[in-house]
Structure 1
Amino acid sequence: MAPLIPRLHLFEIDDQSWFPAFLRSRIQDCLTLAWNTNTPLQPQSPARIAASALIHELGSSLPSYTFIDFCAGAGGPTPAIQRAINSHLSAQGKPAVDFVLTDLHPNVAAWEKLVEKDPRIMFEREPVDASSAPSHLIHRKDGKKVLRLFNLSFHHFDDALARAILKDTVNTSHGFAIFELQDRSFANAVTVLMLGVAAIAMAPLLAWKRKSPAMFFFSWIMPVLPFVLVFDGLVSCLRTRTSGEIEALLRGCGADTTLWEMRSGRSKFIWPCGYLHWVICTPVEEIQA
Protein backbone atom coordinates (compact mmCIF):
# COMPACT_ATOMS: atom_id res chain seq x y z
CA MET A 1 0.00 0.00 0.00
CA ALA A 2 1.50 3.34 -1.06
CA PRO A 3 2.22 5.88 1.70
CA LEU A 4 -0.12 8.82 2.04
CA ILE A 5 2.90 11.12 2.17
CA PRO A 6 4.69 11.70 -1.17
CA ARG A 7 8.46 11.28 -1.32
CA LEU A 8 10.27 14.59 -0.82
CA HIS A 9 14.00 14.82 -1.41
CA LEU A 10 14.71 17.57 1.12
CA PHE A 11 18.18 18.34 2.48
CA GLU A 12 19.72 16.70 5.53
CA ILE A 13 22.16 18.67 7.65
CA ASP A 14 24.61 15.78 7.91
CA ASP A 15 24.94 15.71 4.10
CA GLN A 16 26.09 19.31 3.84
CA SER A 17 29.74 20.08 3.14
CA TRP A 18 29.70 22.86 5.75
CA PHE A 19 28.68 20.49 8.56
CA PRO A 20 31.83 19.95 10.69
CA ALA A 21 33.50 16.59 10.15
CA PHE A 22 33.95 15.94 13.89
CA LEU A 23 30.21 16.41 14.45
CA ARG A 24 29.45 14.14 11.48
CA SER A 25 31.57 11.46 13.15
CA ARG A 26 29.57 11.82 16.36
CA ILE A 27 26.30 11.54 14.40
CA GLN A 28 27.65 8.35 12.83
CA ASP A 29 28.48 7.02 16.31
CA CYS A 30 24.88 7.64 17.40
CA LEU A 31 23.48 5.87 14.33
CA THR A 32 25.82 2.93 14.88
CA LEU A 33 24.47 2.67 18.42
CA ALA A 34 20.89 2.75 17.08
CA TRP A 35 21.70 -0.17 14.77
CA ASN A 36 23.24 -2.33 17.46
CA THR A 37 21.37 -1.58 20.69
CA ASN A 38 19.04 -3.97 22.48
CA THR A 39 16.59 -2.52 25.01
CA PRO A 40 13.54 -3.94 26.80
CA LEU A 41 11.52 -2.54 23.88
CA GLN A 42 13.73 -4.33 21.34
CA PRO A 43 13.70 -8.14 21.13
CA GLN A 44 16.47 -7.94 18.49
CA SER A 45 18.74 -5.17 17.28
CA PRO A 46 18.11 -3.88 13.74
CA ALA A 47 21.54 -5.19 12.73
CA ARG A 48 20.61 -8.71 13.82
CA ILE A 49 17.33 -8.51 11.90
CA ALA A 50 19.20 -7.36 8.77
CA ALA A 51 21.59 -10.32 9.08
CA SER A 52 18.66 -12.72 9.43
CA ALA A 53 17.10 -11.33 6.25
CA LEU A 54 20.33 -11.86 4.31
CA ILE A 55 20.75 -15.39 5.68
CA HIS A 56 17.17 -16.33 4.79
CA GLU A 57 17.01 -14.70 1.37
CA LEU A 58 20.45 -15.74 0.08
CA GLY A 59 20.16 -19.27 1.38
CA SER A 60 22.78 -21.73 0.22
CA SER A 61 24.47 -19.11 -1.97
CA LEU A 62 25.47 -17.07 1.10
CA PRO A 63 29.14 -18.28 1.24
CA SER A 64 29.73 -17.30 -2.39
CA TYR A 65 29.56 -13.55 -1.70
CA THR A 66 31.77 -10.75 -0.49
CA PHE A 67 29.63 -8.01 1.05
CA ILE A 68 30.59 -4.41 0.30
CA ASP A 69 29.03 -1.61 2.35
CA PHE A 70 28.99 1.40 0.02
CA CYS A 71 28.03 4.04 2.60
CA ALA A 72 29.56 2.65 5.74
CA GLY A 73 29.76 5.78 7.90
CA ALA A 74 31.40 4.72 11.16
CA GLY A 75 30.67 1.06 10.44
CA GLY A 76 26.97 1.05 11.28
CA PRO A 77 25.49 -2.45 11.46
CA THR A 78 28.08 -4.13 9.23
CA PRO A 79 30.30 -5.57 12.01
CA ALA A 80 27.24 -7.05 13.75
CA ILE A 81 25.88 -8.39 10.44
CA GLN A 82 29.29 -9.94 9.76
CA ARG A 83 29.38 -11.67 13.14
CA ALA A 84 25.85 -13.05 12.76
CA ILE A 85 26.39 -14.31 9.21
CA ASN A 86 29.76 -15.90 9.90
CA SER A 87 28.48 -17.52 13.11
CA HIS A 88 25.66 -19.01 11.04
CA LEU A 89 28.09 -20.26 8.39
CA SER A 90 30.46 -21.67 11.01
CA ALA A 91 27.64 -23.62 12.63
CA GLN A 92 26.95 -25.19 9.23
CA GLY A 93 30.60 -25.97 8.62
CA LYS A 94 30.82 -23.51 5.72
CA PRO A 95 33.60 -20.99 4.99
CA ALA A 96 33.41 -17.47 6.36
CA VAL A 97 32.71 -14.44 4.16
CA ASP A 98 34.36 -11.03 4.07
CA PHE A 99 32.90 -7.54 4.44
CA VAL A 100 34.38 -4.34 3.01
CA LEU A 101 33.64 -0.84 4.31
CA THR A 102 33.62 2.06 1.84
CA ASP A 103 32.24 5.58 1.72
CA LEU A 104 32.43 8.77 -0.29
CA HIS A 105 33.75 10.31 2.95
CA PRO A 106 35.81 7.48 4.52
CA ASN A 107 35.84 7.35 8.32
CA VAL A 108 39.24 5.65 8.41
CA ALA A 109 39.85 6.26 12.13
CA ALA A 110 36.66 4.40 13.08
CA TRP A 111 37.27 1.60 10.57
CA GLU A 112 40.81 0.94 11.76
CA LYS A 113 39.46 0.17 15.22
CA LEU A 114 36.92 -2.25 13.76
CA VAL A 115 39.50 -4.05 11.64
CA GLU A 116 41.78 -4.51 14.65
CA LYS A 117 39.01 -6.55 16.29
CA ASP A 118 37.85 -8.49 13.25
CA PRO A 119 39.97 -9.92 10.41
CA ARG A 120 36.86 -10.58 8.28
CA ILE A 121 36.32 -6.82 7.86
CA MET A 122 38.37 -4.70 5.46
CA PHE A 123 38.05 -1.13 4.23
CA GLU A 124 38.95 1.24 1.41
CA ARG A 125 40.94 4.31 2.44
CA GLU A 126 40.11 6.32 -0.66
CA PRO A 127 36.64 7.77 -1.40
CA VAL A 128 34.37 5.37 -3.29
CA ASP A 129 31.58 6.56 -5.57
CA ALA A 130 28.79 3.94 -5.54
CA SER A 131 27.70 5.00 -9.04
CA SER A 132 31.15 4.16 -10.46
CA ALA A 133 32.72 1.52 -8.26
CA PRO A 134 36.45 0.97 -8.84
CA SER A 135 37.35 -2.22 -10.67
CA HIS A 136 39.72 -3.52 -7.98
CA LEU A 137 36.89 -3.39 -5.47
CA ILE A 138 34.29 -5.18 -7.56
CA HIS A 139 36.41 -7.83 -9.31
CA ARG A 140 37.49 -9.96 -6.39
CA LYS A 141 40.77 -11.87 -6.71
CA ASP A 142 39.26 -14.78 -4.80
CA GLY A 143 36.49 -15.14 -7.39
CA LYS A 144 33.74 -14.25 -4.92
CA LYS A 145 30.58 -12.54 -6.11
CA VAL A 146 29.81 -9.05 -4.82
CA LEU A 147 26.68 -8.07 -2.97
CA ARG A 148 26.35 -4.37 -2.23
CA LEU A 149 24.96 -3.18 1.11
CA PHE A 150 23.17 0.15 1.58
CA ASN A 151 22.52 0.49 5.31
CA LEU A 152 20.38 3.52 6.15
CA SER A 153 21.81 5.24 3.09
CA PHE A 154 19.82 4.64 -0.10
CA HIS A 155 17.37 7.41 0.77
CA HIS A 156 20.24 9.90 0.53
CA PHE A 157 20.39 9.51 -3.26
CA ASP A 158 18.10 11.51 -5.53
CA ASP A 159 16.41 9.60 -8.34
CA ALA A 160 19.09 10.30 -10.96
CA LEU A 161 21.92 9.19 -8.67
CA ALA A 162 19.93 6.18 -7.43
CA ARG A 163 19.42 5.01 -11.02
CA ALA A 164 23.13 5.46 -11.76
CA ILE A 165 24.05 3.42 -8.67
CA LEU A 166 21.60 0.66 -9.57
CA LYS A 167 22.88 0.60 -13.16
CA ASP A 168 26.47 0.25 -11.94
CA THR A 169 25.33 -2.47 -9.53
CA VAL A 170 23.56 -4.49 -12.21
CA ASN A 171 26.49 -4.17 -14.61
CA THR A 172 29.28 -4.99 -12.17
CA SER A 173 27.87 -6.81 -9.12
CA HIS A 174 25.73 -9.80 -8.23
CA GLY A 175 23.11 -8.28 -5.96
CA PHE A 176 22.27 -5.55 -3.49
CA ALA A 177 20.53 -5.15 -0.17
CA ILE A 178 18.91 -1.96 1.11
CA PHE A 179 18.09 -1.59 4.80
CA GLU A 180 16.22 1.42 6.18
CA LEU A 181 15.12 2.15 9.75
CA GLN A 182 12.30 4.48 8.71
CA ASP A 183 9.43 4.94 6.27
CA ARG A 184 7.08 7.69 5.12
CA SER A 185 4.50 7.41 7.88
CA PHE A 186 3.37 9.70 10.66
CA ALA A 187 3.84 6.88 13.16
CA ASN A 188 7.51 6.59 12.24
CA ALA A 189 8.05 10.17 13.40
CA VAL A 190 7.51 8.82 16.94
CA THR A 191 10.50 6.50 16.52
CA VAL A 192 12.64 9.41 15.30
CA LEU A 193 11.71 11.49 18.35
CA MET A 194 12.59 8.52 20.56
CA LEU A 195 16.02 8.46 18.92
CA GLY A 196 16.54 12.11 19.83
CA VAL A 197 15.59 11.47 23.46
CA ALA A 198 17.87 8.43 23.56
CA ALA A 199 20.76 10.50 22.15
CA ILE A 200 20.44 12.94 25.05
CA ALA A 201 20.06 10.19 27.65
CA MET A 202 23.02 8.17 26.35
CA ALA A 203 25.36 11.14 25.76
CA PRO A 204 27.26 10.87 29.10
CA LEU A 205 27.92 7.15 28.57
CA LEU A 206 28.98 7.63 24.94
CA ALA A 207 31.19 10.58 25.84
CA TRP A 208 32.91 8.47 28.51
CA LYS A 209 33.33 5.40 26.24
CA ARG A 210 34.60 7.47 23.30
CA LYS A 211 36.67 9.73 25.59
CA SER A 212 34.89 12.59 23.83
CA PRO A 213 33.90 15.60 25.95
CA ALA A 214 32.63 17.15 22.70
CA MET A 215 29.86 14.55 22.51
CA PHE A 216 28.66 15.52 25.98
CA PHE A 217 28.93 19.25 25.24
CA PHE A 218 27.07 19.06 21.92
CA SER A 219 24.36 16.83 23.41
CA TRP A 220 23.65 18.50 26.75
CA ILE A 221 25.16 22.00 26.86
CA MET A 222 24.56 22.88 23.21
CA PRO A 223 22.26 20.09 21.92
CA VAL A 224 23.36 20.15 18.29
CA LEU A 225 23.60 16.37 17.98
CA PRO A 226 20.05 15.56 19.17
CA PHE A 227 18.67 18.35 16.97
CA VAL A 228 20.48 17.06 13.86
CA LEU A 229 19.47 13.45 14.60
CA VAL A 230 15.79 14.40 14.87
CA PHE A 231 15.79 16.88 11.97
CA ASP A 232 17.66 14.54 9.63
CA GLY A 233 15.61 11.60 10.89
CA LEU A 234 12.34 13.29 9.96
CA VAL A 235 13.75 14.29 6.57
CA SER A 236 14.95 10.70 6.09
CA CYS A 237 11.38 9.51 6.60
CA LEU A 238 10.23 11.79 3.78
CA ARG A 239 13.11 10.66 1.55
CA THR A 240 12.68 6.91 2.04
CA ARG A 241 11.32 4.95 -0.90
CA THR A 242 8.94 2.02 -0.86
CA SER A 243 10.09 -1.27 -2.38
CA GLY A 244 7.87 -0.54 -5.37
CA GLU A 245 9.58 2.81 -5.93
CA ILE A 246 13.00 1.17 -5.69
CA GLU A 247 11.96 -1.47 -8.21
CA ALA A 248 10.72 1.23 -10.61
CA LEU A 249 14.17 2.86 -10.41
CA LEU A 250 15.84 -0.50 -10.97
CA ARG A 251 13.78 -1.33 -14.04
CA GLY A 252 14.38 2.14 -15.46
CA CYS A 253 18.11 2.39 -14.69
CA GLY A 254 19.23 1.61 -18.25
CA ALA A 255 20.74 -1.81 -17.55
CA ASP A 256 19.33 -5.22 -18.43
CA THR A 257 17.45 -6.27 -15.28
CA THR A 258 15.44 -9.08 -16.90
CA LEU A 259 16.86 -11.75 -14.59
CA TRP A 260 16.95 -9.60 -11.48
CA GLU A 261 14.40 -10.49 -8.82
CA MET A 262 13.49 -8.27 -5.88
CA ARG A 263 12.22 -9.42 -2.49
CA SER A 264 11.24 -7.10 0.34
CA GLY A 265 9.82 -7.09 3.83
CA ARG A 266 9.80 -5.40 7.19
CA SER A 267 10.34 -6.45 10.81
CA LYS A 268 9.61 -4.52 13.98
CA PHE A 269 12.78 -3.60 15.86
CA ILE A 270 11.34 -1.36 18.55
CA TRP A 271 7.90 -0.93 20.10
CA PRO A 272 5.51 0.59 19.12
CA CYS A 273 6.18 1.53 15.49
CA GLY A 274 9.85 1.16 14.59
CA TYR A 275 10.36 -1.16 11.63
CA LEU A 276 13.42 -2.27 9.70
CA HIS A 277 12.51 -2.22 6.00
CA TRP A 278 14.58 -4.34 3.66
CA VAL A 279 14.98 -4.93 -0.06
CA ILE A 280 17.22 -7.72 -1.36
CA CYS A 281 17.73 -8.11 -5.09
CA THR A 282 19.81 -10.63 -7.05
CA PRO A 283 19.73 -12.27 -10.47
CA VAL A 284 17.54 -15.40 -10.23
CA GLU A 285 20.48 -17.57 -11.26
CA GLU A 286 22.52 -16.34 -8.26
CA ILE A 287 20.04 -17.73 -5.76
CA GLN A 288 19.72 -20.99 -7.69
CA ALA A 289 23.51 -21.44 -7.83
Structure 2
Amino acid sequence: MTPSRTWWPRLHLFELLDQRWYPAPLRDHCTNYLATIAQRMGIFDAVAPLLLRGLEAGGTDTVVDLGSGGGGPLPRLCDSLEREQGRRVRVLQSDLFPNEQARQRATATGAEYLEQPVDAMRVPAELRGMRTMFNALHHFRPEEARAVLADAQARGVPIGVFEVVERSPKGVISSLFIPLLVLAFTPMLRPLTLPRLFFTYAVPLLPLAIFWDGLVSTLRAHRPEELRRMTQSLTREGYTWEVGVAHKPGKPPVTYVLGLPASSTASNGRRG
Protein backbone atom coordinates (compact mmCIF):
# COMPACT_ATOMS: atom_id res chain seq x y z
CA MET A 1 0.00 0.00 0.00
CA THR A 2 1.25 3.49 -0.85
CA PRO A 3 2.12 5.45 2.33
CA SER A 4 -0.50 8.04 3.25
CA ARG A 5 2.08 10.69 4.04
CA THR A 6 2.08 13.68 1.70
CA TRP A 7 5.69 14.79 1.36
CA TRP A 8 4.91 18.14 -0.24
CA PRO A 9 2.00 19.97 -1.87
CA ARG A 10 1.16 19.25 -5.48
CA LEU A 11 3.10 21.58 -7.82
CA HIS A 12 1.46 22.24 -11.18
CA LEU A 13 4.60 23.24 -13.09
CA PHE A 14 4.55 23.34 -16.88
CA GLU A 15 5.04 20.24 -19.01
CA LEU A 16 6.23 20.64 -22.56
CA LEU A 17 3.63 18.21 -23.89
CA ASP A 18 0.84 20.47 -22.59
CA GLN A 19 2.00 23.47 -24.60
CA ARG A 20 0.25 24.17 -27.89
CA TRP A 21 3.44 25.80 -29.24
CA TYR A 22 5.51 22.64 -28.66
CA PRO A 23 6.76 21.48 -32.11
CA ALA A 24 4.82 18.49 -33.45
CA PRO A 25 7.94 16.42 -34.29
CA LEU A 26 9.19 16.74 -30.70
CA ARG A 27 5.71 15.99 -29.31
CA ASP A 28 5.39 12.90 -31.53
CA HIS A 29 8.79 11.59 -30.44
CA CYS A 30 8.02 12.05 -26.75
CA THR A 31 4.60 10.40 -26.93
CA ASN A 32 6.04 7.60 -29.09
CA TYR A 33 8.72 6.97 -26.48
CA LEU A 34 6.17 6.92 -23.62
CA ALA A 35 3.93 4.50 -25.52
CA THR A 36 6.87 2.21 -26.27
CA ILE A 37 7.93 2.15 -22.61
CA ALA A 38 4.38 1.30 -21.50
CA GLN A 39 4.05 -1.44 -24.11
CA ARG A 40 7.50 -3.04 -23.89
CA MET A 41 7.95 -2.91 -20.11
CA GLY A 42 4.37 -3.79 -19.21
CA ILE A 43 4.27 -1.14 -16.50
CA PHE A 44 0.45 -1.25 -16.42
CA ASP A 45 0.05 -5.04 -16.42
CA ALA A 46 -1.33 -4.92 -12.87
CA VAL A 47 -4.51 -3.16 -13.99
CA ALA A 48 -5.85 -5.84 -16.35
CA PRO A 49 -8.33 -7.15 -13.70
CA LEU A 50 -9.55 -3.59 -13.09
CA LEU A 51 -10.07 -3.09 -16.80
CA LEU A 52 -12.12 -6.28 -16.93
CA ARG A 53 -14.25 -5.17 -13.98
CA GLY A 54 -15.03 -1.89 -15.70
CA LEU A 55 -16.02 -3.58 -18.94
CA GLU A 56 -18.31 -5.96 -17.10
CA ALA A 57 -19.89 -3.17 -15.04
CA GLY A 58 -20.60 -1.16 -18.16
CA GLY A 59 -21.84 -4.16 -20.15
CA THR A 60 -19.49 -3.22 -22.96
CA ASP A 61 -16.55 -4.53 -24.95
CA THR A 62 -15.41 -1.06 -26.03
CA VAL A 63 -12.69 1.01 -24.38
CA VAL A 64 -12.57 4.76 -25.07
CA ASP A 65 -9.04 5.81 -24.16
CA LEU A 66 -8.53 9.49 -23.35
CA GLY A 67 -5.21 11.31 -23.57
CA SER A 68 -3.78 8.43 -25.60
CA GLY A 69 -0.73 10.39 -26.80
CA GLY A 70 1.45 7.99 -28.75
CA GLY A 71 -0.67 4.93 -28.03
CA GLY A 72 -0.10 3.52 -24.56
CA PRO A 73 -0.50 0.06 -23.03
CA LEU A 74 -3.99 -0.92 -24.22
CA PRO A 75 -2.85 -3.29 -27.02
CA ARG A 76 -0.84 -5.28 -24.49
CA LEU A 77 -3.65 -5.26 -21.91
CA CYS A 78 -6.28 -6.28 -24.46
CA ASP A 79 -4.09 -9.13 -25.69
CA SER A 80 -3.88 -10.29 -22.07
CA LEU A 81 -7.66 -10.16 -21.63
CA GLU A 82 -8.25 -12.10 -24.83
CA ARG A 83 -5.61 -14.71 -24.00
CA GLU A 84 -6.56 -15.19 -20.34
CA GLN A 85 -10.28 -14.32 -20.28
CA GLY A 86 -11.36 -14.92 -23.87
CA ARG A 87 -12.60 -11.33 -23.99
CA ARG A 88 -12.11 -9.38 -27.21
CA VAL A 89 -12.05 -5.63 -26.72
CA ARG A 90 -12.54 -2.83 -29.22
CA VAL A 91 -10.18 0.08 -28.54
CA LEU A 92 -10.88 3.70 -29.48
CA GLN A 93 -7.91 5.95 -28.76
CA SER A 94 -8.19 9.73 -28.60
CA ASP A 95 -6.25 12.82 -27.60
CA LEU A 96 -6.56 16.58 -27.41
CA PHE A 97 -3.59 16.64 -29.83
CA PRO A 98 -4.24 13.75 -32.28
CA ASN A 99 -1.06 12.06 -33.46
CA GLU A 100 -0.80 10.76 -37.04
CA GLN A 101 2.02 8.34 -36.27
CA ALA A 102 0.08 7.02 -33.27
CA ARG A 103 -2.95 6.53 -35.52
CA GLN A 104 -0.86 4.41 -37.86
CA ARG A 105 0.47 2.32 -34.96
CA ALA A 106 -3.05 1.91 -33.56
CA THR A 107 -4.30 0.63 -36.90
CA ALA A 108 -1.45 -1.89 -37.01
CA THR A 109 -2.56 -3.30 -33.63
CA GLY A 110 -6.24 -3.44 -34.54
CA ALA A 111 -7.21 -0.33 -32.57
CA GLU A 112 -8.77 2.91 -33.82
CA TYR A 113 -7.35 6.39 -33.23
CA LEU A 114 -9.84 9.22 -33.66
CA GLU A 115 -8.85 12.06 -35.97
CA GLN A 116 -10.79 14.75 -34.12
CA PRO A 117 -9.50 16.23 -30.82
CA VAL A 118 -11.28 14.90 -27.74
CA ASP A 119 -11.41 16.86 -24.46
CA ALA A 120 -11.36 14.40 -21.55
CA MET A 121 -13.50 16.78 -19.48
CA ARG A 122 -16.23 16.89 -22.14
CA VAL A 123 -16.25 13.62 -24.05
CA PRO A 124 -18.75 13.52 -26.93
CA ALA A 125 -21.88 11.58 -25.97
CA GLU A 126 -21.55 9.26 -28.97
CA LEU A 127 -18.27 7.85 -27.66
CA ARG A 128 -19.75 5.09 -25.51
CA GLY A 129 -17.73 2.48 -23.65
CA MET A 130 -15.44 2.20 -20.66
CA ARG A 131 -13.23 5.29 -20.45
CA THR A 132 -9.56 4.90 -19.56
CA MET A 133 -6.62 7.20 -18.93
CA PHE A 134 -3.03 6.05 -18.55
CA ASN A 135 -0.52 8.44 -16.97
CA ALA A 136 -2.63 11.39 -18.00
CA LEU A 137 -4.61 12.57 -14.97
CA HIS A 138 -1.62 14.47 -13.57
CA HIS A 139 -1.89 16.81 -16.57
CA PHE A 140 -5.09 18.15 -15.00
CA ARG A 141 -5.39 20.44 -12.01
CA PRO A 142 -7.54 19.01 -9.18
CA GLU A 143 -10.74 20.76 -10.29
CA GLU A 144 -10.12 19.61 -13.88
CA ALA A 145 -9.36 16.04 -12.79
CA ARG A 146 -12.64 16.04 -10.88
CA ALA A 147 -14.39 17.22 -14.05
CA VAL A 148 -12.91 14.27 -15.99
CA LEU A 149 -14.35 11.85 -13.43
CA ALA A 150 -17.66 13.72 -13.11
CA ASP A 151 -18.23 13.63 -16.87
CA ALA A 152 -17.99 9.81 -16.91
CA GLN A 153 -20.33 9.56 -13.93
CA ALA A 154 -22.84 11.93 -15.54
CA ARG A 155 -22.88 9.72 -18.65
CA GLY A 156 -23.25 6.58 -16.55
CA VAL A 157 -20.19 4.91 -18.05
CA PRO A 158 -17.30 3.21 -16.22
CA ILE A 159 -13.92 4.90 -16.05
CA GLY A 160 -10.48 3.67 -15.06
CA VAL A 161 -7.67 6.15 -14.41
CA PHE A 162 -4.21 4.66 -13.95
CA GLU A 163 -0.95 6.38 -12.96
CA VAL A 164 2.56 5.06 -12.33
CA VAL A 165 4.00 8.49 -11.60
CA GLU A 166 4.22 9.06 -7.86
CA ARG A 167 4.62 12.26 -5.84
CA SER A 168 7.24 11.05 -3.38
CA PRO A 169 11.02 11.02 -2.92
CA LYS A 170 11.04 7.63 -4.66
CA GLY A 171 9.21 9.13 -7.65
CA VAL A 172 11.64 12.02 -7.94
CA ILE A 173 14.68 9.73 -7.66
CA SER A 174 13.23 7.40 -10.31
CA SER A 175 12.81 10.31 -12.72
CA LEU A 176 16.58 10.93 -12.61
CA PHE A 177 17.08 7.73 -14.62
CA ILE A 178 14.80 8.86 -17.46
CA PRO A 179 17.62 10.15 -19.74
CA LEU A 180 19.33 6.74 -19.56
CA LEU A 181 16.05 5.00 -20.41
CA VAL A 182 15.56 7.28 -23.41
CA LEU A 183 19.03 6.38 -24.68
CA ALA A 184 18.30 2.67 -24.20
CA PHE A 185 14.81 2.55 -25.71
CA THR A 186 15.17 4.94 -28.65
CA PRO A 187 16.44 2.18 -31.02
CA MET A 188 13.12 0.37 -30.43
CA LEU A 189 11.02 3.33 -31.63
CA ARG A 190 9.47 3.34 -35.07
CA PRO A 191 10.07 5.07 -37.37
CA LEU A 192 13.73 5.39 -36.37
CA THR A 193 14.71 8.52 -38.28
CA LEU A 194 18.01 10.36 -38.55
CA PRO A 195 16.64 13.49 -36.79
CA ARG A 196 15.42 11.30 -33.94
CA LEU A 197 18.86 9.72 -33.58
CA PHE A 198 20.64 13.07 -33.92
CA PHE A 199 18.55 14.81 -31.23
CA THR A 200 18.90 11.82 -28.91
CA TYR A 201 22.59 10.93 -29.14
CA ALA A 202 24.47 13.81 -30.80
CA VAL A 203 22.49 16.69 -29.31
CA PRO A 204 20.50 15.18 -26.39
CA LEU A 205 17.51 17.50 -26.71
CA LEU A 206 14.96 14.68 -26.55
CA PRO A 207 16.33 12.95 -23.42
CA LEU A 208 16.36 16.30 -21.62
CA ALA A 209 12.83 17.19 -22.76
CA ILE A 210 11.44 13.82 -21.67
CA PHE A 211 13.33 14.06 -18.38
CA TRP A 212 11.84 17.48 -17.64
CA ASP A 213 8.30 16.30 -18.32
CA GLY A 214 8.90 13.15 -16.28
CA LEU A 215 10.19 15.10 -13.30
CA VAL A 216 7.31 17.56 -13.46
CA SER A 217 4.87 14.64 -13.72
CA THR A 218 6.00 13.36 -10.32
CA LEU A 219 5.48 16.81 -8.80
CA ARG A 220 2.02 17.05 -10.38
CA ALA A 221 0.83 13.54 -9.46
CA HIS A 222 -2.38 13.25 -7.43
CA ARG A 223 -1.81 11.08 -4.37
CA PRO A 224 -4.33 8.36 -3.39
CA GLU A 225 -5.64 10.27 -0.38
CA GLU A 226 -6.27 13.32 -2.60
CA LEU A 227 -8.09 11.15 -5.15
CA ARG A 228 -10.24 9.66 -2.38
CA ARG A 229 -11.32 13.13 -1.27
CA MET A 230 -12.03 13.98 -4.90
CA THR A 231 -14.25 10.94 -5.48
CA GLN A 232 -16.00 11.31 -2.11
CA SER A 233 -17.22 14.69 -3.34
CA LEU A 234 -18.80 12.89 -6.31
CA THR A 235 -20.64 10.25 -4.29
CA ARG A 236 -24.16 9.58 -5.49
CA GLU A 237 -26.56 6.66 -5.63
CA GLY A 238 -26.12 4.37 -8.62
CA TYR A 239 -22.41 4.93 -9.12
CA THR A 240 -19.47 3.76 -6.99
CA TRP A 241 -15.89 4.97 -6.75
CA GLU A 242 -12.82 3.03 -5.74
CA VAL A 243 -9.31 4.39 -5.24
CA GLY A 244 -6.35 2.12 -4.62
CA VAL A 245 -2.96 0.88 -5.69
CA ALA A 246 -2.66 -2.16 -7.98
CA HIS A 247 0.35 -4.45 -7.61
CA LYS A 248 1.93 -7.18 -9.70
CA PRO A 249 5.29 -8.84 -8.99
CA GLY A 250 8.12 -7.26 -10.96
CA LYS A 251 6.03 -4.27 -12.03
CA PRO A 252 5.70 -0.78 -10.54
CA PRO A 253 2.66 -0.05 -8.33
CA VAL A 254 -0.16 1.68 -10.19
CA THR A 255 -2.39 4.23 -8.46
CA TYR A 256 -5.92 3.91 -9.82
CA VAL A 257 -9.39 5.40 -9.71
CA LEU A 258 -12.19 3.09 -10.81
CA GLY A 259 -15.68 4.47 -11.35
CA LEU A 260 -18.41 1.90 -11.86
CA PRO A 261 -22.13 2.14 -12.68
CA ALA A 262 -24.60 0.54 -10.28
CA SER A 263 -24.36 -2.96 -11.77
CA SER A 264 -20.88 -3.22 -10.25
CA THR A 265 -21.94 -2.96 -6.62
CA ALA A 266 -21.64 -6.70 -6.14
CA SER A 267 -18.10 -6.75 -7.46
CA ASN A 268 -15.33 -7.57 -5.01
CA GLY A 269 -12.25 -5.56 -5.95
CA ARG A 270 -8.95 -5.26 -4.22
CA ARG A 271 -8.47 -1.89 -2.61
CA GLY A 272 -5.07 -0.43 -1.88
Which bracket does the TM-score occupy, shorter chain normalised? 0.7 to 0.9
CA distance in 2, matches of 1:206, 1:14: 21
TM-score w.r.t. length of structure 1: 0.82
Where in structure 1 are there 5+ consecutive unaligned residues? 39-44, 139-145
- Determine helix, strand or coil for the equivalent of 2:244: strand
How much identity, in percent, do the aligned residues show?
A: 25
Q: Which moved more, 1:150-159 or 1:187-196?
A: 187-196
Query: What's 1:128 paired with?
Result: 118
- Residue 281 of structure 1: CA displacement? 2.3
- Pair 1:36–1:101, CA change in 2 (3 A): same
Structure 1 residues 163-207: Cα deviation after superposition (integer angstroms, max 9, x where no partner) = 22222111114221111121111112232222221102333x146
Contact 1:63/1:96 (<8 A) preserved: no
How many residue pairs end up in the alignment? 264
- Residue 259 of structure 1: CA displacement? 3.3
CA distance in 2, matches of 1:126, 1:31: 21
Kindly provide the amino acid, as one letter, of the partner of residue 2 in structure 1. Answer: R
CA distance in 2, matches of 1:234, 1:132: 28
CA distance in 2, matches of 1:165, 1:3: 23
Query: What's 1:178 paired with?
Result: 161
State the superposition RMSD in angstroms: 2.5
CA distance in 2, matches of 1:62, 1:134: 17
Where in structure 2 are there 5+ consecutive unaligned residues? 268-272
- Residue 287 of structure 1: CA displacement? 5.0
- Residue 102 of structure 1: CA displacement? 0.7
Aligned counterparts, 1:217-256, within 5 A: 217-252=198-233, 256=236
Kindly provide the amino acid, as one letter, of the partner of residue 185 in structure 1. Answer: S
- Pair 1:260–1:16, CA change in 2 (3 A): same
Does residue 156 in structure 1 map to residue 139 in structure 2? Answer: yes
Kindly provide the amino acid, as one letter, of the partner of residue 45 in structure 2. Answer: R
TM-score w.r.t. length of structure 2: 0.86
Residue among 108, 111, 116 paired with 2:103: 111
- Residue 258 of structure 1: CA displacement? 6.2
- Pair 1:226–1:78, CA change in 2 (3 A): same
- Residue 51 of structure 1: CA displacement? 2.0
- Determine helix, strand or coil for the equivalent of 2:173: helix
Kindly provide the amino acid, as one letter, of the partner of residue 258 in structure 2. Answer: I
Query: What's 2:174 paired with?
Result: 191
CA distance in 2, matches of 1:200, 1:177: 31
Contact 1:261/1:283 (<8 A) preserved: no
- Residue 247 of structure 1: CA displacement? 2.8
